[in-house]
Structure 1
């Protein structure tokens, strides 16, 4: 039986490399790309743009998730691979770990850090947390 592989995918170049690595390393495995909507982003948006931004925050986040899933699906289609996608709303490390446990994932693949700017600072610790707490192998792409 093939390993079930979970790839943390946020649309960043490192997440694209992580997805490519998963496809090449586990060619027969079911692969799922997980995108996490981080609720802390709503606080940042409120501080930056006020209440009207906060009202639309979740809808905008879901639209962004759809765009990112489309990117991941397109990348896997180019390599003749099927991909499942999932979106979770949670702190990123917690969402990855819970999903892996709940779905009997055998391997996690993720970039060493996420997007640039403030997201990079916030997401850089996600990889470290996942490595420390995962009960399964974690591959970090840098």
Structure 2
């Protein structure tokens, strides 16, 4: 029976490894890649780099999400696979668990940490929260 896997994906090396694991270890399962636009984290990063206008910030975030999801799709196509791409707004851990619940996900495969800098510190705790809150199995890739 085919399972539905969710791979939270931010383009970081560990999220790439998580996607790679899902693609290779679950060759017959359906995979959805989820990119979460975290407005709180975006504001912190924008202030650190010089805050643009809110509409410009949203446009940049959306453009980045599209690029990251396209990267995931390209990686999947290298394995002869197609994935479903999704982008959601919200706090990452809560959004990942809610998405998994709402979309009948059977298993979450995710990296232990996200990108660099502030994101890395925040996203490390995301994996822990997802692991504790998700009602389905969670595989953490390091």
Aligned counterpart, 1:137: 137
Alignment CA distance shift 1:45-1:121 (3 Å): closer
Q: Distance in 2 between matches of 1:65 and 1:76?
A: 17
Give the number of aligned pairs: 141
TM-score (norm 2): 0.95
Counterpart contact for 1:107–1:136, Cα < 8 Å: yes
Counterpart contact for 1:9–1:15, Cα < 8 Å: yes
Aligned counterpart, 2:109: 109
Corresponding residue SS for 1:69: helix
Alignment CA distance shift 1:19-1:42 (3 Å): closer
Unaligned runs of 5+ in 2: none
Counterpart contact for 2:41–2:119, Cα < 8 Å: no
Unaligned runs of 5+ in 1: none
Aligned counterpart, 1:15: 15
Alpha-carbon shift at residue 46 of structure 1 (Å): 5.2
The ranges of structure 1 where at least 4 consecutive aligned residues each deviate by more than 4 angstroms after the TM superposition are: none
TM-score (norm 1): 0.95
